Each structure stands twice: as structure tokens, then as C-alpha cells.
Structure 1
Amino acid sequence: MNASGAPRVAAPQLPPLIGLELGPDADDATVTESLLSWNAAEASAIGAEISDSRLTRLPTERLSARRLRLADVEVDQPTTIAWDAPRSTWRGVVVAGGSIGVLDASGSRWDNVTLRGIRIGYLNLREGAVSDVEFIGCRIGTLDLAGATTTRVALSDCRVEDLDLRNRKGEHLDLRGLDVVRLNRLDGADALAGTIITDEQARLLAPALARALRITIAEEDL
């Protein structure tokens, strides 16, 4: 990918942080320059705004956080069953390590976001606006980009079992770092326009592309 198509990402430069443990109800909270943790099974942070901070512990079962705003935030080794964050805004965010069962970021806006070395069962970015985002060394069960608009998004050394691209829009989606051999299902092959893949990936994806374009591949020449 040329320079114009590569994700423009930069890790946040955090100031000195003060430890803060949030309770189960953090709706509409405004937090900055903090070392955050939740010591609870479930918590709510609906409409909260977190900036210049590091999250070190999420609720073990569920974090309800629709309309969450993260700006210049590190999320370190998150481990939770469900992180519900639809219609959220993430800018300058790095998520490193950990395991999340379901991360629902449908309808969200991600800008300058890095996910590195994390396992996610279902990552829902459906109908979102995803710009300057990189996935590095991630293991994802289902990556749902249906209806999303992607700009300068790249996968590197990633394994995805199911990929949904139906009605995806945008350009500069770099899939060269996706392990296509381990890809079980691809929905929306006709939305691969604007992506970059390798020669080997093109060969492996040929049947799916043929089906999407209604091309019949004959076994023998006439």
C-alpha cells in the first residue's frame, strides 16, 4: 500500500496519571488523566467521556457504554464478556492484549485506533465510520463491517474466522495481513472494491468472488 493509503496512527502521549476506581454507575462521567479500573462484574458508562487516560481493568462480565467518548486512551489487557459501545467515538485509542467476547461498536466513529494482540469473539463495526485503524496480531471470530465506511484500514498478521463486508463503502482496506486460509466465511465479496490483497489471497478468494459476480467457472475448456 502506498503512503496515502496506510493508516495514520499514533499512540497517545499520556501525562502522569492518578489512580481511579470507577463504580458500577459511571453514566455521563467525565474523566481525564487517570489510571482507571473497574472492580465489578457489570458497570455502566453510558455517555461518559474519558481522555488522556489508561484503562487497566474492565468489568468482568459487561460494560454498557453506548455513546462513550474515548480520546487519547490506552486500554491495557481488557478482559470482559461484553463491551457494549454502540454509537461511540474513539480517537487516538490503543487496545493491547486481552480478550473480549463481544465488542459492539456498531454505528461508531473510530479515528486513529490500534488493536494489537487481542482476541475478540465478535467485533461489530456495522454502519460505523472507521478511519486510520490498524489491527495487528489479532484473533477475531467475526469481524462485522457491513455497511461501514472504511478509510485507511489495515490488518497485519490477523486471523478472522468470519468476515462480513456487505454494503461496505470506502477505500484503502488493506487485507494483505489477513490469514485467508483460516477464513471460514466471507459475506459481501462484491464489496471488496477498494481493498488490497495478495496474489495468493486472490487465488483463494476466487470462488467467493465468482459467486458474488455470478461468474461460472467451468472445469474444462471447450
Structure 2
Amino acid sequence: MTGACAAQSPPTAEAPPGSGDTPGTEAPGPSAGGGAAGACAAVIEYDGHTYWGQAQLMRRPEVSGRTVTVVRPGCEDSGGQGEVEQDTEVEARELADVGPETAVLVGDSLFVREGRDLPEQLDDWFRSPPCTSPGRFELTAQWLGITSPNEPRFDGDVQAPYRLEVRVTDGPTRYVDATITIRATTGTHPALQPGDVESSLWEGGFVIATVRCDGEDFVATGIVAHPPDNP
């Protein structure tokens, strides 16, 4: 059984990290909703058109610096047990490579207009960069989740081998702002310590990893976790 912990999850919760590297260039239909287990669709409206949320971005798109106002439709996802949320206006950022008539960025989420596709050259937004740097190098990253073939303990302690999903904040330019997976082995030293998941991952903290490439994979020779106020 594979255990998984996600950032800012309560100690007893298990949640898988973000989706993989499948390109998300086609706007999907609405997600299923209704009932107690229903969930609101990832959708916004702009200039009279519907925009659907896409697959997880693995690289952060460049933005133009301009913003537009979009509407997040109201939603009721409690199975009739709560009030229907009202429509709300939110700020969306224009992308540098494609106009708002096709797609916009809300927070870290990409929304594409219904019936429109992103240019094929932007497929890399949905793919993690491969590990291509020679020798060992250092990455500073915000960790997003951790998966392991070993079931996590109630306090979040995990034993190697495991995989960290992170968003790189510092290191070789080709990886900065990208979401990657770092593999830790029984030879990784130093490794995550008991309590790191609870004190760092669940609090939105950072890791500093010394990494080498194994093919296109990132393999950690050492990992140190830090709380969010001490990267």
C-alpha cells in the first residue's frame, strides 16, 4: 500500500500529490457535482464566456503584468446542507504567451475558454522538466507532498524510499518555478527526520536538497527540511 501526505493536511488525512505530467491543453467539461460528496467545478466566466480549469501546471507561465476581472460562479457542494455561494469577482492575470480571450491565470490555476485550445508549444507548462544538470547541485523548494511505499505514521514520520513533490524556488534556472519529483533512497543522507512532515510539510515549509540526475530523474543525496519562516 502506498502512503501519501499532502501539504497542509491534518495529521490523520492522506491525500495524493498533484496530477501527473499529462498535457491539459483541451478544456474539459464540468466536473461531477451534487450530493454530499459533490464538488464545485473549476470554472470561471469572463466576457460572457465560460473558462474551465486545467490540469496541474508543472511550470509557472510568464504573465504580462496586466489583470482582468473574472467571475467565479456561485456553487452549492454540501448536498443541500448549506447555503449556495454567491457569484464573486476575482482578479485574473493575463498570460504573456496567450491572450485573455483564450486563457487566464487565477492564483496558480490556469483556465481556458470553452471551445479553445492552447497552442501546442505551451504543452511544456504541463510537463516537469527532466533532470539534465551534470554532477551534484542544490535545489531549494516548497514541498507539496510526499509518497512512499511505506504507510506514514500518525505523526507523519516516513522511511526511505519516498518521493517528494516540490515546487523549485532556487537552483539552476531551468528548474526554478517548476514542479518536480525528487526521489529519496536509503542512501540519502541527511534524510527527513521524524516530525519534519508535521512541522514543515503540513505548515507549507521548504526543503533544501542536494541532487544528482539518474537518467531524467532527480535523486536526492541529502535533504534538509525547514519551516516556512526559515527556508
TM-score interval w.r.t. the shorter chain? under 0.3
Q: Write 1 or 2 for the structure with the bigger share of helix.
A: 1
Task: Report 1 or 2 for greater relative contact order, CA contacts < 8 Å, sequence distance ≥ 6.
Answer: 2
Superposition TM-score, scaled by structure 2 size = 0.25
